[in-house]
Every structure is written in C-alpha cells, then in structure tokens.
C-alpha cells in the first residue's frame, strides 16, 4: 500500500482535563499517514485518481479547531475516523502530539493506526 504523509499540522483547540485547559486553546501537532493506492494517479496525473489531501487537511483542521476533547486519545480517534471516511483512504496512522503537556517533557503524543 502506498502512503501519503501530512507532517506537523499545527492546530489550536480545547484539549485536556484541567480547568485551565478547558478554557484556553492549546497547540496540538498532528501527523497523518494515509494508506492508499496512488498508482492510478501516478500514471494519469489527475487529482480525481488520488486522495485530495488538501481538502482532507482542511476538514481535519476544521474538526479539530472546533473540538473539545478531554483526552488526546479521543482526539486521535476522531481524526482517524474522519480520514477513513475519505475516498481512497484504506488505513490511517495518526499521531497527535500535545506540546508541554507534562512538566520536564517536550510533549506527549498518542499514535494510533486504524483500517477501513
């Protein structure tokens, strides 16, 4: 299976269980690997034959920016579900990273893989 990667997508959203996290948007970094067969697009050079990752990115941004999850795990699951609903995506690997979530750590990340 071929892969399309969207790296270091920076989004601001409400995410966390603490009171302050419920009121102030925070940075979240999302990395996606979309598993799809891109061989037809490689031959045709046509957007209709591949995953429109620009449109998918816009949908991910809109969903995450309006979300209010308590857990990074729940946000990752929602992103995966959205991606799998997209034409041509057979599997997705999602990594949601929350910078500075833990003291003395650069970030905390949750990585999941889901198949259609």
Torsion, CA 57, CA 63, CA 65, CA 66, rounded to 10:
160
Which residue is catalytic, options 25, 40, 57, 98?
98
- pLDDT tens digits for 5-51? 999 999 999 999 999 999 999 999 999 999 999 999 999 999 999 99
DSSP state of 52: -
Query: pLDDT category, 63, cuts 50, 70, 90?
Result: very high
% the chain with pLDDT above 70: 100
Residue ranges and CATH numbers for the domains of the chain are 2-115 (3.30.1130.10)
Annotation marks residue 98 as catalytic? yes
What is the token pair recorded at 51? 């995953």
Q: Average pLDDT of 45-61?
A: 97
The pLDDT score that the predictor gives to residue 36 is 98
């Amino acid at each position: 299976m071929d892969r399309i990667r969207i790296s270091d997508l920076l989004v601001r959203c409400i995410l966390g269980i603490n009171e302050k996290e419920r009121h102030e948007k925070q940075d979240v970094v999302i990395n996606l690997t979309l598993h799809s067969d891109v061989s037809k697009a490689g031959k045709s050079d046509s957007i209709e034959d591949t995953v429109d990752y620009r449109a998918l990115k816009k949908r991910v941004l809109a969903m995450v920016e309006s979300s209010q999850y308590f857990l990074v795990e729940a946000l990752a699951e929602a992103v995966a579900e959205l991606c799998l609903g997209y034409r041509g995506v057979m599997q997705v690997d999602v990594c949601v990273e929350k910078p500075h979530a833990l003291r003395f750590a650069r970030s905390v990340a949750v990585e999941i893989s889901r198949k259609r």
